[in-house]
Structure formats: C-alpha cells, structure tokens
Amino acid sequence: MVIKKIGVASLAIVMAAGSLAAQTADRYAFPFSQYQLRNGLQVILAEDESLPVVSIAVAYRVGSIHEPPGKSGLAYLMRNMMFSGSADVPPQQHFNNINRVGGKLNANTSEDMSIFYQTVPSNQLALVLWMESDRMRFLEITEDSLEETKKNLLDIRLGRRNDNPYLENQFSFDQLLYLDFPYSHPFLGSEDDIRNLTLDDVKNFYAAYYVPNNAVLCITGAFNRIRTKEIIARYFETIPKGKDPSYVAEPFRYTKKQVVKTEENPLALAPAFYMGFRLSLSAPNDLYSLTILDYLLMRGRSSRIMRRLLSPDNKIAYQLEGGIEKRRDRFTYKIFVVANNPYWISQCQSAVFSELDKLKTAYPSEAELAKAKNMFRRNYLDRIATTQDKAIFLCEEYFALPNLDELPLELEKYMKVTNPDVVTVVHRYFTTENNLILNIRTK
C-alpha cells in the first residue's frame, strides 16, 4: 500500500457567540487524515467517538457532464444500477443488509459527482466496506436489470414532469446558459436517449468511471484507525486500477450580449421566468464573495430579492427560488419566479435588476453583511452536523478543492468577505450583456 501522508487537518469552526471577529477566532478541531492506495483510491478518515456509529461514503467523479451525446441519462441510470447486484451481493441485497443491521443508506448523482453513503453501527463497518468493494469491482450488469432500471428512470422522469410543470422550460433555459452538450442537456436524460441505452453503453460507462482511481472513500465516526486501514486494504487494494479518465476543462465560452426568449407552456398555470448570469470566475476569491452576495440577495425572508418579491406587505410573486449553480468548473446564478400575470412578471424582473443596481451604487450595511455571513456559517456547519454529513462533506470538498489541506481555511475565507468585495463581483458579473431571461407564457 502506497500511503501519501497528508497529516491531520483541523477544520476551522466558528462558534456562535460574541462578535464576528471573536467568533472567527474561536474554533474547535475537526481532525481528518488522507492517504492513497496503490490503485489510486483516495481514502479519508475522520474519527468521532461521540456515538457508536460509523458512516461510509464512496464518491466517484462522474455525473451527467460526462455523458456523450445521444447517451444522456447514463449517470442517473448508473446510480440505480449500482444496487442491481454484484458478484457476491444479490440484487437489492445491499438495501436488505443495511436495513437488517439498523442502518440507513442513500445515493445522489449530480452533474459532476455520484456518491453512495450509509450509516451503520460501528461493528458493521466491515460489512459495508465489503459490499462497496464488491460493486466497485464486480457489478452485475444484465439485460434484465438494465431494462428494469430504464423503465424506473422513465417513470421518475415522467413523475418529475408531472410534479413540476416548468421542468421542460428549465431544460430549455439550461441550453441558453450552457452552449455545449455536456453542460446543457437534461440531467435526467431525454426519453429517446434513455430508451436507446444498450448493455455495452452501461458497461463501458461503468468501466470508465467507476474505478478506484476515480473515487474517494470516506469513513467518519467511531472506528479503530489501524483496524480500519487493514480492512480497507483487504477489500480495496486488489481492485485493478482503471484508465485515468480524461477531464478537459473547456473555457466557459459565450457571446456577451443579453439574451431574452419566450416560450409557451400548455402545462403552466401561471406565467414565470428564468433569469441567469454566467459567472466566469476571473479572480480566485470571487466565489467566496459571490456566495455571500447570494445570501444578501436570496437567503432568508429578509434578503433583498425575497423581501422585494415575497414580503407580506408587497407580495408580487408567489414562487421564488434560485442561487449559485455549480457544474464542475462552471458557475451560474439562476433565479426562477412565478407570478400571477405578465404585468407582475415584468415588475418582478424590474425588482431584481433594481436590487442589483442598488448594490452597484451603495454598500450594504455592516449589520446586513454580518447577518448574511452568520446565516452562511450556520448552513456551513449544518453540513458537518452528523457523521453522515461529514462523510458527504469531505467527499464533496475533496473534488471541489485543489487540495484538502486548504479545508481548514475555507470557512475563514467566506468570513473575510468585505462590502467592497461584494460590490466588485456585482459589477463584474451581474451585467446586462451577461444576462439571460427565458419568459414562460401560459397557453
């Protein structure tokens, strides 16, 4: 086993008392260590003896942006196929084994990551590691399981379209925001593509991306470090390394001019619009400033756009959602609004631009900025509230950061955002030529 000793890092956690400066300085440790197996599998261990449970997460750097044209839906389909059985675990037995020992499990797939996680009593750690290693190496992909999974995926897609009458408009808007196929196609895939996926398509996708050198294994909770490393070596060390997947980061290319389009939607009960801004991050710390800006604009009832559109005294919309969206190396800011009629749609759009213009000409108050930071900090800490949260968090940060050694300083970077930083990113990114709007009319 080749071990790259990263050392123990301490995650800066801000306590909720005193001034912001005092809070930032008041920390407690979130220790973790990282090493790598010979086959390239990254391992992160974070011990927490507060409860006799352990959480295990295996994340693969693969999502919808890795699907080739004509094969959309592969990543989401693979998430379900990973429970279809492996050499020593019959179909759906993974669920049964976890439930039998009183554990819980789930899986998520996004545009750039697929993660499988479970929490079990500490004495069941070996069981989970054995099952995860078995499907990493010997997943059973059969014609029957593929057809059943394709049917389930089509049902999920239909159900989401029925639940969200604006879903197809969302897909259309993504094609305005992202001009290339990997980033713009529907995350759930198109119906035709899903129906036409073949056994070879799935096997090739699995062989390309569900390999140890494209994955990270994270274990958090109550476990014996030495014993755990022995179990990891026993179950994962012999899995062959796959070919290193090639990830070519394409520049975020687009014509800098405002785009405004209109679609009719026979399913919509009320008019709506999507508004977006492309965020081609041009400075290393812009993401921290943009995140705090998002909290000023859209997080909480007293945030600026929420207050303008949804306040009880002046409610001009009845649905509002949005924020920063990340698709691997691309960032956008998206807003979705539903209102009663075209007049109020126009008023809502004017209100959004008005709030952005205000931030271009006047700093938010120190109290408003501190409130936004406090809310962000609470949400950040919620991401590490349980052992399962920590396991997911560490996997996400492993793929997001250049190096996990930077993690202890991450929260502090958000806390250091200033009013000038916020105003700078509003001027830099929230411009007319960088704006896209999709108006949705009822039919």
Residue 254's pLDDT is what?
Answer: 74
**How confident is the chain (443 residues) per 10-residue block, as mean pLDDT?**
34 32 42 96 95 97 94 95 94 94 96 96 98 96 95 92 92 92 90 96 96 98 97 97 80 82 95 94 87 96 95 92 90 96 96 96 95 95 94 95 88 95 96 96 91
- CATH 3.30.830.10 in the chain is located at 37-236, 259-393+402-442
Residue 314's pLDDT is what?
Answer: 85
* 206 residue type, one letter: Y
Q: How many CB atoms lie within 10 A of CB 371?
A: 18
Residue 425's pLDDT is what?
Answer: 96
Count CA atoms within 13 Å of residue 433 on its CB side.
6
Q: Write the CB contacts of 379 (distance below 8 Å, at least 6 apart in sequence).
A: none
Q: To 10 degrees, what angle do helices 366-382 and 419-429 make? A: 80
Sheet with 319-327: list strands edge to edge: 259-265, 435-442, 272-279, 330-338, 319-327
Q: How many CB atoms lie within 10 A of CB 53?
A: 21
Which token pair is 226?
A: 């030495």
Under a CB-based contact definition with an 8 Å cutoff, are residues 139 and 84 in contact? Answer: yes
CA 143 to chain centre: 31
Residue 251's pLDDT is what?
Answer: 67
Phi, psi of 31 (to 5 degrees): -75, 145
* CATH topology classification for 259-393+402-442: Cytochrome Bc1 Complex; Chain A, domain 1 (3.30.830)
For the chain, the residue count is: 443
* CATH topology classification for 37-236: Cytochrome Bc1 Complex; Chain A, domain 1 (3.30.830)
DSSP string, 52-121: SEEEEEEEES--GGGPPTT-TTHHHHHHHHTTS-BSSS-TTHHHHHHHHTT-EEEEEE-SS-EEEEEEEE
Which token pair is 275?
A: 């508004």
Which residue has 């956008």 as its token pair? 332
**Whole-prediction pTM:** 0.89
DSSP string, 383-416: TTSSHHHHHHHHHHHHHHSS-GGGGGGHHHHHHT
CA 421 to chain centre: 25
* 363 residue type, one letter: Y
Q: How far is CA 319 from CA 275, 302, 338, 340, in A?
A: 14, 16, 5, 10
DSSP 3-state assignment of 320? strand
**Runs of H (alpha helix) within 268-401:** 286-298, 304-310, 342-361, 366-382, 387-400
For residue 320, which of 328, 369, 303 has the smallest C-alpha distance? 303
